[in-house]
Amino acid sequence: MKLKAFKRNVEKRCNVNKLRREGKIPAVIYKKGSSGEELSVDSIMFTAALRKVEPGHLSTTIFILEDENGAERRVIVKEIQYNVTNYDVIHLDFEELIDGTPVNVKVPIEIVGVADCPGIKLGGVPRQVIRSLKVRCLPKDIPASFPIDISTLSLGESRRLSDLEIANTLRPLMNLSEVAVAIVKR
């Protein structure tokens, strides 16, 4: 997803408020080995792009920021700050993706096989204990999600993070013996 990015002046707080009134979101791009770079993103474009992202997949979605000169940079969203009253985005933190430099990413875990699960047919419900797995990998190896199959689980059974199919190019940063999803009684 492509977004327009603009350099911004960070001398005074009133400049940030002025940006927001103009329909821009203040943002910072972090890059390994350098301090953050201040910029702004058009709020209408970002909100439209955000609507296209599947719930839970924002951390693995790659955005392309294009500056005033036409130079493009690949980034992922590291943090979003929202206004507490109207839930508008008021600040963004991006991390620039550089080929050959590993990055830490939270990859969502998706439950698959709900319709065939015997435990659910007996009245149970799936309880997803862990919704994402934090991994370290190169930008080209970032997976969209990890599917976890529950089609053979009965009531009281569970799947652990170790049951996920994790590629050799990914290094998990969590304990893989933890329960990811369980079939429990209502």
pLDDT of residue 169: 93
How do residues 136-158 score in pLDDT, each as one tens digit?
999 999 999 999 999 999 999 99
How do residues 7-27 score in pLDDT, each as one tens digit?
887 666 667 888 888 999 999
Average pLDDT, the chain: 91
Q: Give yes or no for residue 89 having a pLDDT over 70.
A: yes
pLDDT of residue 10: 67
pLDDT of residue 36: 84
The domains found in the chain, sorted by start residue, are: 1-94 (2.40.240.10), 101-183 (2.170.120.20)
How many CB atoms are located within 10 Å of the residue 46 CB?
Answer: 21
The length of the chain in residues reads 186
Least confident span in 4-18, 55-69, 159-173:
4-18
Structure tokens, 67: 């500056």
Give the residue from 136, 160, 138 showing the smallest Cα distance to 149.
160
